[in-house]
């Protein structure tokens, strides 16, 4: 019997796109809402009609924490929650800004950078460049 | 049909709190079970339903049955994190009320301090958070604290006052793990971990276990100690990962609290003593707001300047909480045991005079699962 959900699942599709330097999120054909993280069905309406779209990449820092780490182990780093213009939220990191200037409300732009293990990951920088 | 007053806790005990050298988590659990059964005057083989949740043993309900030599009719292993045990009481009340079981045992234990010295958990970071290395779980709570401070102007001092109040209660509890004096300045000068949270904003890492025995109301008086009735219960699950929490300033306690209080027929102002899962200082502020003890955004002012300390306007975490008394990783069972002690009048120097109604509240995951129980003495039925 043919699967109603052919091919790899949404997590694998997202990861494959990211590995090619492409950041896409899902959009629901049923209710029109954007969805992140990638899912099988829309958490707003239950529809399985989820397609992939490129977000604007623009977002706003919703909350931030600075993880404290000894300098010899690499020093402090930030972890943020970013609200994308499309109405979804994601965890990430902001590069190109001092941690003590990083606060909720900062406008940021996404790019495909590297995560902690060198893997491709969506990272942000301040809109208008580093400061 | 309501569960109000249909079942009661008739036995409660702690075991291995602090450091329990040379003991496994299940051994600590069984020590607590032994104590709770003795407290209830119930022989082991009367237990016909069991509930537990242990962090590293997926099949801990089965392990518990094996260790106790029981063949229970029902084995409940609901795993919502530290809130699990407060959901177990509701399932227990359902079984007892329907006469599907007669004696239900709810228990937990962990040796995380002496075994590993840190929070023991089988949880890993979700795929969409792992690349950014948030510290699990403190960074998740730090993000919620940051949002609360941004949105409502909650201050670093107010967070510190939660820890100070917990320590002041712990100083009245000979069983508490940390009883040295603690000032606001001490908290604010403690080591930063994940801003805005510092190490004294974080719960302890201790060993410890707890157990309660529940029976239906009709038989609850046939035991040595006064029964503590389950008057209401409610749950709220909002997410698993902090990046999926719709509003970082509103937890599932806004659902679980009203559900529990509606069932019990009480309002926040009726409650005499409150036991909240204070994994981090921000939890107490969020839960007091969401449970209706103050308005949203006013939790900082509510807890500030000794508001929840001895002599304040609401006694919260009278044992010293997870911040200063005991925190083996899944604290929910300890909210129940302390509520029982307060309602029985067994709390010694920290006893709240005339306590008849208690609220116990558990948190699981990263503010993900919230479960509220309303407990009362016979006078509240």
Contact B144 A103 (CB under 8 A): no
The answer to the question of residue A1 being in a domain is no
The answer to the question of residue A131 being in a domain is no
Structural domain of residue A113, as residue ranges?
A: 58-126
- pLDDT (average), residues A41-49: 97
- The total number of structural domains that make up chain A: 2
For residues A62 and A122, state if they share a domain. Answer: yes
For residues B153 and B270, state if they share a domain. Answer: yes
Percent of chain B with pLDDT over 90: 96
A131 has pLDDT over 70: no
For residues B59 and B77, state if they share a domain. Answer: yes
For residues A39 and A86, state if they share a domain. Answer: no
Residue A13: pLDDT band with limits 50, 70, 90: very high
For residues A83 and A66, state if they share a domain. Answer: yes
For residues A34 and A66, state if they share a domain. Answer: no
Q: Which of A65, A81, A115 sits opposite B243 (nearest CB)?
A: A81
For residues B104 and B252, state if they share a domain. Answer: no
Q: Which of A37, A65, A93 sits opposite B195 (nearest CB)?
A: A65
For residues B217 and B349, state if they share a domain. Answer: no
For residues B237 and B212, state if they share a domain. Answer: no
For residues B357 and B251, state if they share a domain. Answer: yes
A1 has pLDDT over 70: no
**Pairing outcome for strands B49-52 and B74-76:** parallel
Looking at beta carbons, which residues of chain A come within 8 Å of B131? 114-117, 119, 121
The answer to the question of residue B202 being in a domain is no
For residues A113 and A63, state if they share a domain. Answer: yes
Structural domain of residue B315, as residue ranges?
A: 136-191+232-380
Q: Which of A65, A77, A105 sits opposite B143 (nearest CB)?
A: A65
Contact B132 A91 (CB under 8 A): yes
For residues B141 and B286, state if they share a domain. Answer: yes
For residues A23 and A81, state if they share a domain. Answer: no
For residues B297 and B236, state if they share a domain. Answer: yes
Q: List beta partners, residue A1.
A: none
Number of continuous H segments (helices) and E segments (strands) in chain B: 12, 11
Q: Domain containing B264 — which CATH number?
A: 3.40.47.10
One DSSP character per residue, B342-377 reads HHHT--GGG--TT--EEEEEEEETTTTEEEEEEEE-
Q: Is B128 on the interface with A (CB under 8 A)?
A: yes
pLDDT of residue B55: 85
The answer to the question of residue B199 being in a domain is no
Contact A104 B146 (CB under 8 A): yes
Contact B142 A62 (CB under 8 A): no
Task: For residue range B337-377, list pLDDT tens digits in order.
Answer: 999 999 999 999 999 999 999 999 999 999 999 999 999 99
Q: Scanning the structure block, which residue is given the tokens 């029109």?
A: A32
Residue of B53, B39, B31 lying closest to B9 (CA atoms) = B39
pLDDT of residue B117: 81
CA distance A68 to chain B (A): 5
Count chain A–chain B contacts defined by CB atoms under 8 A: 82
Q: Which of B133, B144, B242 sits opposite A67 (nearest CB)?
A: B133
User: Could you report the predicted ipTM of this complex, rounded to two decimals?
Assistant: 0.97
Task: For residue range B155-169, list pLDDT tens digits in order.
Answer: 999 999 999 999 999
For residues B215 and B236, state if they share a domain. Answer: no
Is residue B213 a contact partner of residue B9, using CB atoms and an 8 Å limit? yes
pLDDT of residue B120: 77
CA distance A78 to chain B (A): 8
Q: Both tokens of residue A111?
A: 């790019």
The answer to the question of residue A95 being in a domain is yes
Interface test with chain B among A63, A87, A99, A111, by most B beta carbons within 10 Å: A63
The answer to the question of residue B69 being in a domain is yes
Calpha distance B320→B178 (Å, rounded): 9
For residues A74 and A48, state if they share a domain. Answer: no
Q: Is B133 on the interface with A (CB under 8 A)?
A: yes
- The total number of structural domains that make up chain B: 2
pLDDT of residue B119: 80
For residues B217 and B157, state if they share a domain. Answer: no
pLDDT of residue B116: 85
Calpha distance B240→B243 (Å, rounded): 9
How crowded is residue B130: how many other Cβ atoms within 10 Å of its Cβ? 17
For residues B111 and B180, state if they share a domain. Answer: no
For residues A101 and A41, state if they share a domain. Answer: no
The answer to the question of residue B100 being in a domain is yes
The answer to the question of residue A5 being in a domain is no
Contact B195 A119 (CB under 8 A): no
Contact B147 A77 (CB under 8 A): no
The answer to the question of residue B129 being in a domain is no
Nearest CA in chain B to A62: B147
For residues B46 and B71, state if they share a domain. Answer: yes
Nearest CA in chain A to B147: A63
Residue A4: pLDDT band with limits 50, 70, 90: confident
A130 has pLDDT over 80: no
pLDDT along chain B (381 residues), means of 10: 94 97 97 98 98 93 98 96 98 98 98 88 86 97 98 98 98 98 98 98 97 98 98 98 98 98 98 98 98 98 98 98 97 98 98 98 98 98 96
Predicted model pTM: 0.97
């Amino acid at each position: 019997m043919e699967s109603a959900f052919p091919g790899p699942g949404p997590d694998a599709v997202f990861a494959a796109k990211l590995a090619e330097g492409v950041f896409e999120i899902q959009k629901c054909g049923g209710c029109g809402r954007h969805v992140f993280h990638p899912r099988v069905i829309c958490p707003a309406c239950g529809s399985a009609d989820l397609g992939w779209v490129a977000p604007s990449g623009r977002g706003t820092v919703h909350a931030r924490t600075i993880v404290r780490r000894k300098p010899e182990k690499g020093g402090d780093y930030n972890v943020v929650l970013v609200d994308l213009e499309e109405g979804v939220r994601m965890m990430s990191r902001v590069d190109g800004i001092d941690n003590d200037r990083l606060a909720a409300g900062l406008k940021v732009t996404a790019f495909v950078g590297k995560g902690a293990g060198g893997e491709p990951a969506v990272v942000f920088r301040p809109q208008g460049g580093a400061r | 049909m309501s569960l109000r007053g249909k079942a009661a806790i008739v036995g409660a005990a702690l075991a291995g709190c602090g450091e329990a050298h040379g003991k496994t988590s299940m051994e600590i659990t069984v020590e607590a079970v032994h104590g709770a059964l003795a407290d209830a005057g119930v022989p082991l083989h009367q237990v016909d339903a069991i509930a537990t949740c242990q962090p590293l043993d997926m099949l801990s309900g089965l392990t518990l049955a094996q260790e106790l030599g029981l063949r229970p009719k029902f084995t409940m292993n609901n795993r919502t994190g530290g809130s699990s045990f407060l959901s177990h009481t509701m399932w227990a009340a359902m079984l007892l009320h329907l006469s599907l079981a007669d004696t239900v045992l709810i228990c937990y234990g962990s040796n995380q301090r002496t075994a590993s010295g840190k929070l023991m958990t089988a949880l890993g970071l979700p795929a969409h958070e792992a690349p950014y290395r948030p510290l699990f779980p403190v960074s998740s709570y730090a993000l919620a604290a940051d949002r609360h401070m941004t949105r409502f102007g909650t201050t670093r001092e107010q967070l510190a006052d939660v820890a100070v109040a917990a320590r002041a209660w712990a100083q009245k509890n000979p069983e508490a793990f940390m009883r040295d004096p603690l000032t606001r300045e001490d908290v604010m000068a403690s080591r930063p971990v994940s801003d805005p949270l510092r190490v004294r904003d974080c719960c302890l890492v201790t060993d410890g276990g707890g157990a309660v025995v529940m029976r239906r109301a009709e038989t609850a008086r046939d035991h040595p100690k006064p029964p503590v009735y389950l008057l209401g219960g409610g749950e709220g699950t909002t997410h698993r990962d902090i990046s999926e929490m719709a509003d970082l300033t509103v937890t599932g306690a806004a659902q679980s609290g009203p559900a529990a209080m509606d069932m019990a027929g009480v309002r926040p102002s009726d409650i005499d003593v409150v036991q909240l899962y204070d994994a981090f200082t921000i939890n107490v502020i969020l839960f007091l707001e969401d449970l209706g003890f103050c308005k949203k955004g006013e939790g900082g002012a509510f807890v500030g300047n000794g508001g929840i300390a001895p002599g304040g306007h609401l006694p919260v975490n009278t044992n010293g909480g997870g911040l200063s008394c005991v925190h083996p990783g899944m604290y929910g069972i300890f909210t129940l045991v302390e509520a029982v002690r307060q309602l029985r009048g067994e709390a010694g120097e920290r006893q709240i005079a005339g306590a008849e109604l208690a609220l116990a509240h558990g948190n699981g995951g990263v503010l993900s699962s919230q479960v509220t129980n309303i407990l009362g003495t016979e006078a509240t039925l």
